[in-house]
Amino acid sequence: MRSNTVVLVVEDEALVRLDIVSQLEDEGFVVVEADNADDAVRLLETNPAISILFTDIDMPGSMDGLKLSRAVRNRWPPVKIVVTSGHRKVEITDLPDGSVFHAKPYRHAEVIASFRELTALD
């Protein structure tokens, strides 16, 4: 369906990452995975096809998902950003412009709907 849309999923909890990756692939998205922000940046540097970042906030490494989101907005402005967390209350002002937030546990249908809306803006 949307096989040309490449999504980078950044989630340190393996089972959570596996679940969302499976859901996205079932919807026709191409998925690249990272378990921390440092790996995510390396993937963004080497894969210009990535058009959506889906990141958790709380994870190990040199930056959390909010810092990663801001870095992505600065370095790769066309990349759409979807942020999630089960531990933090996030205000829209905490996110880069145009970003979307989903609290965990998120509903897969709502996440997929966000992805469709973001890709429809292109």
Match 């429809």 to its residue by tokens. Answer: 120
Q: What is the pLDDT of residues 15-73, one digit of tens each?
A: 999 999 999 999 999 999 999 999 999 999 999 999 999 999 999 888 999 999 999 99
DSSP three-state, residue 58:
coil
Q: Kindly give, in sequence order, each residue whose CB lies less than 8 Å from that of residue 57, ignoring residues fewer than 6 positions away.
A: 64, 65, 66, 83, 84, 85, 87, 88, 90
Residue 75, pLDDT > 50, answer yes
What CATH number belongs to 6-120? 3.40.50.2300
DSSP three-state, residue 117:
helix
Burial class, 89, CB count within 10 angstroms (exposed 0-12 / middle 13-18 / buried 19+): exposed
pTM: 0.92
Domain ranges of the chain: 6-120
Match 């870095």 to its residue by tokens. Answer: 71
